[in-house]
Amino acid sequence: MSWNSSILKGSVQDGWIDSNGHMNIVYYIHILDQGTTLLVSRLKESLRESKDRNLRVVIRKLSIHFRKELKRGEQWWLRMEIQNVLRDRAHLRMQILSTESIHAVTNIEIVFIDELGSHLVIGDVLTKQHIDELIFETCVEGV
């Protein structure tokens, strides 16, 4: 499921520009990190509310693909979507977009781990619908 709503939005600041006149790679990572932090904190809150076990949300894999540079003053937003939820992990995608292009994409794999370090079945912790709702709430509140 995906939404046209964004988690974050903004514009490229003067201080974010590199010597080539494009947004420095550090700020792409910063934007994606902010989106990931919002989602993980939301998942952790939900785990604390629903279970009395000491569970952790762990980002197991993360990859970033850069596609096209943003330029000074250009407006951007960050969109998140669930790619799939498997037995013991969920795959998410975030995209930094502008009106003209997709500028960067990150793929994230998250798992839930208990106090003994064991991976948990996601359905035992949160349902796919619950994850969908958390992402939607994060999109609505993050903007």
Number of independent structural domains in the chain: 1
Specify burial of residue 80 (Cβ count, 10 A radius: 0-12, 13-18, 19+): buried
- In a domain, residue 43? The reply is yes
- In a domain, residue 1? The reply is no
Q: What is the pTM of this model?
A: 0.75
CATH code where residue 29 lies: 3.10.129.10
Q: Would you call 2 helix, strand, or coil by DSSP? A: strand
Asked if 79 and 97 count as a contact pair (C-beta separation under 8 A), the reply is yes
- In a domain, residue 12? The reply is yes
pLDDT tens-digit series, residues 47-61: 666 554 566 778 888
The boundaries of the domain holding residue 121 are 8-142
Burial pattern 57-66, b for ≥16 Cβ within 10 A else e, equals beeeeeeeee
Residue-by-residue pLDDT tens, the chain, 143 positions: 343 456 788 999 999 999 999 999 999 999 988 888 887 777 777 666 655 456 677 888 889 999 999 999 999 999 888 788 777 788 888 899 998 899 999 999 888 777 777 766 666 666 666 666 666 555 544 44
